[in-house]
Amino acid sequence: MTIPFQTYFAIGAIATMIILIQRRLHRSAASWMPRWFAEERAARRAQAAVSGAFLLLNLPWVILSAVAASNRLELWITISDARFSAVQWVMYPFAIWQTGGVTIWLFLSAADAGRWLSRRWKAWRGRESIIPEFDSRTHPGRREWIQAAGTSLAALPFAASGYGAVVATRSYTVERPEIVIPGWPKQLDGLRIAQLTDIHVGLFMTEERLREVVGVVNRLEADLVALTGDFVSSSRVYVAPCIRALSELRAGLGVYACVGNHDLFTGSVGALDEGFRAHGIRLLFNERESVLYRGHGLHLIGIDFVRQDGRVYSQVMRGIPITPGTVLLSHQPNVFPRAAEQQIDLQLSGHTHGGQVRFEIMGQEISPARLITPFVRGHYAKGGSHLYVSRGVGTTGPPLRLNAPPEITLLTVRGA
Ligand SMILES: [Fe+2]
């Protein structure tokens, strides 16, 4: 398989960006040392220590490259299951550093832009500012104040990233939405579906952690379990630990699944299908399967991840009958308007991680997920059709969550 040119381009662009960000941060951190240490030799030593710390905090890129290579080269020597916890001791500080660093870099860039604009403005006006430049070295009192303020401001993004990585990613919430659907068959009234999505087994979602999640799901005693994709993070080597943990799921009507974009781009689908089959979990590939519940058919459709919501969706749904009592498992929530046109009762999706890192400013939601979908999290309705988007349990990119805790869902479906 040849690697497309765009992949090389994207890797090159990301690597350049990382180097530029780290270089800017290093320059800024080193420039603070003479303010902290009055003696020149001590300041120089501190600058050398800063350079060393930067080097160490960027070394884990080598581990991430090995994970990416393991997918392609079928190598799995760097990180095995047994070494997961050891690796995490390295990866968590790395992730916290990188995420906090990017945030600080954004602030520094804004300050740089402000300074540049101010200089241009002064040059255009043809005179110096009437406000004298402030030199912290000549004002010791203010110097201490600026040091304290600067340190607190710099610590804030790292504290937030640390909380998001260590605490928030493990604070599982069990959501229990009740979905009332007009025309839902009365025999199926009260059906309880447990949904688990975006598990992303990898460096930060270990087999052990997934087993804990599976334990929570089993204790909910749902009639059926729906797994809506993204089983692995960045490599198919994670399929085996994922299957081992998920094989312990128990539900009267069975466990049904569909694939997500990460399962597709890591080439994990074949191994997932094989592993799931061995443990009685049904992975649905653009097909429908029916089960009997209190004498009525419950119809489960599972579709692959589709990038576009229109034409491709119509293609994958071609020939699949849609009757009352239908639940669509689609990793991609964006197909919902089309599913609603087809009068599908209920669609279960993931993909967004509930935004993963989410802010709300004046009632406006700001999160990466808003860029890709209007269906970020929770319950949506259109006509008689309903969509539920779970925040999922895992993470992608930085292993942290802010304002979007991991979710295990227990839906109760009722007739109107
Ligand atoms: Fe995902």
Q: What is the pLDDT of residues 291-342, one digit of tens each?
A: 999 999 999 999 999 876 677 888 889 889 999 999 999 999 999 999 999 9
pLDDT (0 to 100) of residue 246: 97
* Ligand 1 centroid to residue 122 C-alpha, Å: 49
Topology annotation, domain 175-415: Purple Acid Phosphatase; chain A, domain 2 (3.60.21)
* Ligand 1 centroid to residue 213 C-alpha, Å: 16
* Ligand 1 centroid to residue 273 C-alpha, Å: 18
131 by Cβ neighbours in 10 Å (0-12 / 13-18 / 19+) ranks as exposed
Neighbours of 276 (CB within 10 A): 22
* Ligand 1 centroid to residue 15 C-alpha, Å: 23
pLDDT (0 to 100) of residue 353: 96
Q: Does residue 411 sit in helix, strand or coil?
A: strand
pLDDT (0 to 100) of residue 86: 63
Residues with CB under 5 A from ligand 1 (ion): 198, 230
- Delimit the CATH 3.60.21.10 region(s) of the chain: 175-415
pLDDT (0 to 100) of residue 80: 43
pLDDT beneath 70: ranges in the chain: 1-4, 7, 67-87, 127-143, 146-147, 308-309
DSSP code for 133: P
φ and ψ of 162, to 5 deg: -60, -45
Do 65 and 234 contact (CB within 8 A), yes or no? Answer: no
Structure-block tokens of residue 255: 């466990």
Q: Does residue 266 sit in helix, strand or coil?
A: coil
* Ligand 1 centroid to residue 352 C-alpha, Å: 6
DSSP code for 57: H
Structure-block tokens of residue 203: 């460096």
pLDDT (0 to 100) of residue 67: 66
Do 401 and 160 contact (CB within 8 A), yes or no? Answer: no
Q: What is the mean pLDDT of the chain?
A: 86
